[in-house]
Amino acid sequence: MSLLGSPQKGMNAFRYLKVAIVVAFLIGAPLYWRDRYITTVFISALMFGIWGVMYDLQIGYAGLYNFGFAGFICAGAYGSALAALHYEVSPWYGLLIGGVASGVLGFFTGLVTLRLRGIYVGLATWFIAEVLRLTISNTPGYTRGMLGLAVKPLPDVLGLDFSRAVLLPYYYLLLLLVIIIFTAASLMVHSKIGLSFKAIREDQLATETLGLSATKYKLINFTTACFFTGLIGAFYAHYIGILTPDATEFGVPRTVEILTVAYVGGRGTLWGSILAGFLLIGFQEYFRELGAWRLVMFGALLITVMIYAPKGLSTVKKYIW
């Protein structure tokens, strides 16, 4: 069973080589440049990439449209930050708390949206995320609301300096998390569970008549994707240092960014989102002086993908790699 693409015998060695090259690049590149700015770009790209992968796990495999995706990042980020602030939980456990907070929210979101299909799942998740965000901004006594919640950096561990003075430890921690999450997601989509996701996406009624429980697999999908999303959300909180329940931070604009990453990368590929994360974030940083024009280009790119290349970057894979 390979991690990328369909499991064809004989191709495996080649595939593992490609994965090794990508991982080697991701490990080596920031060390080669040793530049704080480049490290921040790599961290953003990897974060958006792995969020895109989780988005893809929902939309591309199970056909679950989570339009409140940013809300699950929010749950993870605030879960860990509030645990550290009010209960003095170590941020290292906080990563797990963030994941669990978001995973539980994901489970219940899955539960209430079970009877809904397509666009109605999207609308319900959108409003659930908005309720969470608006509640945070209305309870400044506990969450500091729009004043902003300062989050401590991760404590030093194994002699590594996590004070945010140097960013490389954060980068390698994120890379480790991304590799774990990506591997877990790949194993999942190539297992029986992944096949069930696809079956439900294609035809829920037919799947159920075959004796597969759509309920069970939808809940598995929601809980897993949201758990990992929240885990990275908690990482984000300790990395970025301040949280506000702003729309651009945890509202529709953030969801749209991640959705663009997943769609441009190609739905139902997982790896496409990582590639699109690097391309789009890199593009965004490179053209920083263009200001709002780059967002216009993002929108145009999304429309182009919708009309002319529904499979996104995965269409061109066979020509270049």
Partner 1 sequence: MEFSIFVQLLVLGLVRGSMYALMGVGLSLIFGIMGIVNFAHGELFMMGCYLMYFVTRMVGLPFPVGIIASGAGLLIVGIILEKGLISPLRRKAGREWLMDSFVLTIGLMVIFQNLALITFGAIQRGIPNLVTGQMVIREVVFIYDHLVILSLALLTVGLLWYFIKYTSMGKAIRATSQHSEGAQTLGIDVSTMYAIAFGIGAALAGISGALLITLFPANPNAGMGPVLKSFVVVIVGGLGNVKGAVAAGIMVGLLEAFAMFFLAGGWQNVIVTSIVIAVLVFKPAGLFAPAGERP
Kindly state whether residue 118 participates in binding partner 1, applying the rule CB under 8 A: yes
The Cα–Cα gap between 259 and 125 comes to: 14
Among 23, 38, 85, 295, the residue binding partner 1 under the rule CB under 8 A is 295
Among 123, 160, 212, 240, the residue binding partner 1 under the rule CB under 8 A is 123
The Cα–Cα gap between 44 and 82 comes to: 23
Among 20, 150, 176, 306, the residue binding partner 1 under the rule CB under 8 A is 306
Kindly state whether residue 28 participates in binding partner 1, applying the rule CB under 8 A: no
Kindly state whether residue 122 participates in binding partner 1, applying the rule CB under 8 A: yes
Q: Which stretch binds partner 1 (CB under 8 A): 156-164, 209-217, 268-276, 300-308?
A: 300-308
For the bound state, the minimum distance from the C-beta of residue 34 to partner 1, rounded and expressed in Å, comes to 34
- Residues in a beta bridge with 243: 149
For the bound state, the minimum distance from the C-beta of residue 202 to partner 1, rounded and expressed in Å, comes to 10
Among 17, 20, 21, 112, the residue binding partner 1 under the rule CB under 8 A is 112
x-or-dash pattern for partner 1, window 125-144, by CB under 8 A?
Answer: -xxx-xx--xx-xx------
Kindly state whether residue 113 participates in binding partner 1, applying the rule CB under 8 A: yes
Tokens of 4: 């990328």
Q: Which stretch binds partner 1 (CB under 8 A): 36-44, 74-82, 178-186, 288-296?
A: 288-296
x-or-dash pattern for partner 1, window 54-73, by CB under 8 A?
Answer: -----------x--------
What spatial distance separates the first Cα and last Cα of the chain, rounded to whole Å? 20
Kindly state whether residue 300 participates in binding partner 1, applying the rule CB under 8 A: yes
Nearer to partner 1, 187 or 306 (CB): 306
Count of residues touching partner 1 (by CB under 8 A): 40
**Contacts to partner 1 from residues 255-284, by CB under 8 A:** 256, 259, 263
Phi, psi (rounded to 5 degrees) for 213: -85, 110
Kindly state whether residue 120 participates in binding partner 1, applying the rule CB under 8 A: yes
Kindly state whether residue 303 participates in binding partner 1, applying the rule CB under 8 A: yes
Nearer to partner 1, 1 or 292 (CB): 292
Phi, psi (rounded to 5 degrees) for 62: -100, -5
Among 307, 318, 319, 320, the residue binding partner 1 under the rule CB under 8 A is 307
Which residues would be at the binding site for partner 1 (CB under 8 A)?
A: 65, 112-113, 115-120, 122-124, 126-128, 130-131, 134-135, 137-138, 247, 252, 256, 259, 263, 291-293, 295-296, 298-303, 306-307, 310
